Amino acid sequence: MVSILFKAGAGDAAGWQRELSARIPDLDWRVWPDAGDPATVDFVLAFRVEPGFFAQFPNLKGVLATGAGVDGLFADKTLPTHLPIARIVDPYMTQQMVQWATYGVLHFFRRFDEYRALQNRAEWKELGSPTRHPNRVGVLGFGEIGGAIGRGLLALGFFVQGWTSTPRDLGPIDNFAGAAQLDPFLETSPFLVCSLPLTPDTKGLLNRQRLSKLPKGAVVVNLARGGHVVTDDLLALLQEGHLGGAVLDVTDPEPLPADHPLWHHPNVIITPHESGLTTPATAADQIAANVKRILAGEPVVNPVDVQRGY
């Protein structure tokens, strides 16, 4: 038997069980908090865990993330970093995120915000130019997801620039790299799409000082983690009119409390961390393959680099 303990609050436990049982015939499926004997848990399949969670399982063979971002696993200092850790890279999930980010940019770029306001007043009024924004998008973090978003926007006719922690050849997309080129990148990004991993280096990166570098009227699109943005700073810059809008799939705190002013800001669009949902049917192949690889002593697909934390 191969035991997998599933812990992903909003995840589809029944779907994972169905898809993984079809691929791992001797699966011993457990759903947190019914972990059974902790000493017999082989794998943890999880999105986010509490501090100390992993210390309970002395005989783990590997850790499998249910998502693309693994900050919710690194939040536990007892994460067994000597074991293989894998994340999800799923073209179907990536596609969802490309769609979401593209919508966020187009909403403001094609003046849907202004036309909605006119519609609310039953006012038929053509605003003239199709856009009031320059057609340039900065994608902060150009990995699997950010890269796909950048290429998608390029295909729609945007000038796209990508920021990466170290220099990369992004083909037709201008690359800005490292701390030294972050300000010039922000200064030339009237739309900023955040698709960074959340690590100690990127937490709070988008604070007042950095968000102020964006051109006046810029729109922030965040589908990474709420922790990348200092919420109070974002709100203040929206209220002061320096920022023209924000499209947020993630917030800090999350869930966003019902009385939080961000909910009611006219230029803010909020979705509840759903821009890229992991679907067991499309992601189970790589999870099952990784279970088999780990048991066979082979390297996992979509490995997490524990030094980098993503």
The CB-of-270 to ligand GLV minimum distance in angstroms stands at: 15
Tokens standing for 61? 């063979």
Instruction: Respond yes or no: is residue 133 known to be catalytic.
Output: no
Cα gap 91→68, rounded to integer Å: 11
Q: 231 or 275: whose CB is closer to ligand GLV?
A: 275
Rg (CA), the chain: 21
Amino acid symbol at 279? T
The CB-of-133 to ligand GLV minimum distance in angstroms stands at: 27
Binding interface with ligand GLV (CB under 6 A): 67-69, 276, 278
Q: 153 or 250: whose CB is closer to ligand GLV?
A: 250
Query: ω into residue 255 within 30 of 0, thus cis?
Result: yes
The CB-of-140 to ligand GLV minimum distance in angstroms stands at: 16
Exactly one of 87, 107, 133, 225 is catalytic; name it: 225
Q: 238 or 304: whose CB is closer to ligand GLV?
A: 304
Q: 207 or 279: whose CB is closer to ligand GLV?
A: 279
Q: Which residues of 200-218 are buried (b: 16+ CB within 10 A; e: fewer)?
A: eebeebbeeebbbbbbeeb
The CB-of-65 to ligand GLV minimum distance in angstroms stands at: 8
Q: Strand 2-7 and strand 43-46: pairing?
A: parallel
Can you say how many angstroms the Cα of residue 175 is from the centroid of all Cα atoms in its chain?
Answer: 20
Q: Whats the size of the chain, residue-wise? A: 310
Instruction: Respond yes or no: is residue 242 known to be catalytic.
Output: no
Task: Give the nearest residue (CB) to ligand GLV.
Answer: 67
Q: Catalytic residue numbers?
A: 225, 273
